[in-house]
Chain A
Amino acid sequence: MNTSTADLAWQHKAQPVLNGYLRKVGINSPDARARWIAHVLDALQDEVDKYAADEIVELAVERLRTAIDTRLAQLADLDPLQDSRKIAGMLVVLQEEKHNDLMHTLFADYEGPVDPALREQLLKAVSADLPQPMRADARADMPVQAIELRPLNPLRRLLLRLSR
């Protein structure tokens, strides 16, 4: 991590926020969190001059969130953009307490090759609880019905019929 004096201010500001975010996501290991934070802050270092001071923490969170999604996509062999809904769903499942250990293994680092056995374990773990809000469409036609309105008054009905 680049820790020159001028940069310390924004990094000190961002660090606890990112740490808190990772903790909320369920990455409990301090070492793992430190690695993720360093990764994000290092990547931001080169761009820091392009942003206003009050935006930099927000940007760091965005980068962290994207990094988590990307890593999960890599782990599950998904496309981070195309499969963003599914990735979000997996993240929901993984944040359940019963998956703490798996979460620790999966997010020990932000990069690195993926063990196929781990991928299988991940897919198996999330398969039962993955949010499936909707079934695949099975469309049925529902044509709008015609209702031919007629006046209540039978005399008027008769007159109308005669006038035709």
Chain B
Amino acid sequence: MKPETQQAGWHQKLDAPVYAFRRAIYLLLVWLTTLGAMILLHSAYASGGLSILKLVLLVLYAILILWIAGSFWAAMLGFWVLLTRLDIFARRRRAALADDSVTLPADARTAILMPIYSEDPDRVFAGVRAMWRSLEKTGKAATFDLYILSDTRDVDTWVREECEWYRLCTELCAHGRIFYRNRKQNSARKSGNIADFVQRWGADYRYMIVLDADSIMAGDTLVKMVRLMEANPDSALIQVPPLPVNRETLFARILQFASTAYGPLFTAGASFWQLGDSNFWGHNAIIRVAPFAAHCGLPELPGREPFGGEILSHDFVEAALLRRAGWRVWLAYELRGSYEELPPTLIDFAKRDRRWCQGNLQHLRLIAAKGWHPISRLHFAMGVMSYLSSPLWLIFLLLTSAEAYVQSQDIPDYFFGNNLGPVWPTSFTVELKAVFFFTLAMLFLPKLMSLLLIVLDKSQRRAFGGFIRAALSALLETLFSILVAPVLMLFQTKFVWAILLRRTIGWPAQQRADHSTSLGEAVAMHGVQTLLGIAAGVLSFIYLPDYFWWFVPVLSGVLLSIPLSMLSSSVHLGRVTRDLGLFVTPEERKRPEVLREFDQAMAAVQSKPMSVRDALWEPRSHALHLALLPPDELFSRRQQHYAQGLMYKAMEEGLQSLTTAEKRDLFLRADSLSELHDWVWGTVAE
């Protein structure tokens, strides 16, 4: 399936040179910066000739500085785009959305998909409620349906999802508009869940808006996404960057501030050079269903996990497949009203990284695959580098220490050859310091530029709590990120190492709600890191006393990782800083309507949740579960005996004696479940 030929206006015919020009500028800046840094470092290393160690350091630095320069120049170009508002593509999008009174065509049917897997049902349905209400308020909800696509295995959560879904539909009069499905076999995780939707119901819809369990999108944004797709018939996917909201721990609040304040710079910059070859981030994006169905059936990679098997980070691959088929993928960085939630603690953040790391490293095998668009290859490479950079930095630090030690062992020879006077060794401290500060500048300048953008815009300045509070928040966030960076570097190095050793992780449910990190958990996760920090500190103090203070920023993060992890997980500290006006985001200061709806829905959550016992005991819950089961299959005699065996086991030893899978098998059988229902009531008499 190919995209419709553009009914191109004159301006669209100019797109190809714009693409080429922007990419040339970006790549030129990145390569020149890398080259400059390399020349500087080379001149510092040149004394005494290039040893193998120095050569390795140069190569490592080249890779790392290229990576940093890529990010730095994206941010700088983003700054320019946001400052001047001269991006013609964003202008076209704004023009397409200018008239609010436009109605959506009746055949532009859109399914909003919320794939869930063992999430807190209260949270999930509060989000759905808020989005649906917000969508209804636009008066343009008629062409939308919403699907809750559950892959939940745990029966307690499954039963709660069913009850919450029914309650929600009744409350919103949305029966026949909001659907719920619990997938029988959850093969291929989230991508399999979406594929199952496409295969079963995809023909009914022109678009699907894919969300995550923690996504919230304003109704107005959902409508705008459809309108943008309608205006761009050659686009298969438009990604809207989500802003993190709702968390209250100190850690999450700092990250929320950082993403909200600095994020727009990076997304605008990425969009500047990626244009219609942008990427898919897995959620908060609208997708044209027909090309997705035609081109995004994911194969399994040959070999075993973690590099073979199911494709884990499916989003990058789906975007690449759409591009391969000639469709455009856009990043609409200027659209607002798109939200997500962050992991509440440093440890949860690291756990999420573990999953993402495995998915991204799997892309190593895809980079060179045949047929990709060059920018798609770059997306894969950037995904890989976002995790591989950590072990590379660690190796770079270790080798730098080794080089420093070698240098410190050299006894300078002032009198050699035919020289009559002493020959003083050349000092390259200035060059080394220049390299160091040059690298730091590229890391921290984007933050400063973001702050400048906030300061220049009066409404933004007010939304971030005023100049002083915003600046202080940025300063504290920078200090925090300096401390956390080496901790994340060690975590990610460990993850990469584990993946290289072919250790896989399953599909663990995520901990999304606010909670504090206990001492035990912190010691278990950071204990080894702390010991490594102590060892590195002692060794550098003894053997590299001249360089010790240079290592202090890296060492302090690692040494303080336990208290840092515990303190930053505190909700109390998160609230105290909020009361002080620190790390305040516009969404915290003035809650958008859809988030206010969400808050109300969360506040109305009943304290006593449903359980499996209720589904067995309460005739209403029991009937609801039966009503939602797929039609009965014909079971073999062996399957029937198996189900009976489970039922009798539950009767004699209690439901808790069954494994999650066994409980699920039992709850998939209407006949066994009804028999158990009768038995539960029968036991009342005893």
Contact = CB atoms under 8 A, between A and B. Distances in A.
A20 interface: yes
Interface string A6-39: 0000000110110011001100000000000000
Contacts of B290: 140
Contacts of A13: 685
A131 B678 contact: no
Nearest to B173: A128
Interface string A75-108: 0000000001110110110011000000000000
A61 B366 contact: no
Contact of B627 (A55, A61, A131): A131
B237 interface: no
A159 interface: no
Interface in B624-640: 624, 626-629, 631
A142 B296 contact: yes
| A59, A84, A133, A135 — most chain B CB neighbours (10 Å) | A133
A57 B619 CA distance: 16
Interface in B648-686: 670, 674-675, 677-679, 681-686
Contacts of B176: 132
Contacts of A130: 175
A57 B299 contact: no
Nearest to B205: A138
A131 B166 contact: yes
B627 A92 contact: yes
Nearest to A13: B685
A151 B202 CA distance: 35
Interface string A133-145: 1110111111111
Nearest to A15: B685
A42 interface: no
Given A91-B619, A132-B179, A140-B199, A145 B170 contact: no
Interface in B163-201: 165-166, 169-170, 173, 175-176, 179-181, 195, 198-201
A158 to B, nearest CB: 12
B368 interface: yes
B624 A140 contact: no
B670 A84 contact: yes
A92 B199 contact: no
B198 A89 contact: no
A164 interface: no
Q: Which of B180, B369, B627 has the most CB of A within 10 A?
A: B627
B294 interface: yes
A141 B682 contact: no
B552 interface: no
B678 A65 contact: yes
Contacts of A59: 678, 682
Contacts of B301: 147, 149
B458 interface: no
B199 A150 contact: no
B299 A145 contact: yes
A140 B627 contact: no
Contacts of A21: 619, 681
Instruction: Give the dominant DSSP class at B's interface.
Output: helix
A141 B681 contact: no
Contacts of A128: 173, 175
B173 A54 contact: no
B371 A135 contact: no
Contacts of A65: 619, 674, 677-678
B623 interface: yes
B623 A145 contact: no
A147 B677 CA distance: 50
Contacts of B365: 149
B369 A86 contact: no
Contacts of A57: 681-682, 684-686
Given A65-B674, A139-B203, A89 B623 contact: yes
B198 A147 contact: no
B327 to A, nearest CB: 13
B368 A157 contact: yes
Interface in B338-387: 364-371
Contacts of A132: 175-176, 179
A95 B681 contact: no
B298 A135 contact: no
A24 B175 CA distance: 24
A162 interface: no
Interface string A33-70: 00000000000000000000011011111100100000
A60 B684 CA distance: 12
Contacts of B294: 141-143
A95 B619 CA distance: 9
Nearest to B203: A138
A145 B321 contact: yes
A147 B369 contact: yes
Contacts of B670: 84
A117 interface: no
A152 B684 contact: no
Contacts of B169: 129, 131
Nearest to B681: A61
B629 A142 contact: no
Contacts of B628: 85, 131, 133
A27 to B, nearest CB: 11
B618 interface: yes
A145 B296 contact: yes
A15 B63 CA distance: 80
B50 to A, nearest CB: 24
Nearest to B300: A144
A22 B203 CA distance: 44
Nearest to B367: A152
B457 interface: no
Contacts of B142: none
B199 A133 contact: no
A148 to B, nearest CB: 4
Contacts of B201: 134-135, 137-138
A49 to B, nearest CB: 18
Given A17-B685, A133-B628, A140 B369 contact: no
A150 B684 CA distance: 66
A132 B145 CA distance: 13
B450 to A, nearest CB: 35
B302 interface: yes
Nearest to B202: A140
Which one of A16, A58, A128 has the greatest number of beta carbons of chain B within 10 Å? A58
Contacts of B369: 147-150
B479 interface: no
B179 A134 contact: yes
Contacts of B202: 138-140, 142
B203 to A, nearest CB: 4
Nearest to B617: A24
B371 A148 contact: yes
Contact of B675 (A25, A62, A137): A62
A140 B173 contact: no
12 contacts: A57-B684, A58-B678, A65-B674, A84-B670, A91-B623, A142-B195, A142-B198, A147-B299, A147-B370, A148-B370, A149-B302, A149-B369
A-B complex: 5 closest residue pairs judged by Cβ atoms: A58-B682, A140-B202, A89-B627, A138-B204, A138-B203
Given A96-B170, A138-B200, 4 more contacts: A58-B683, A65-B678, A133-B181, A143-B297
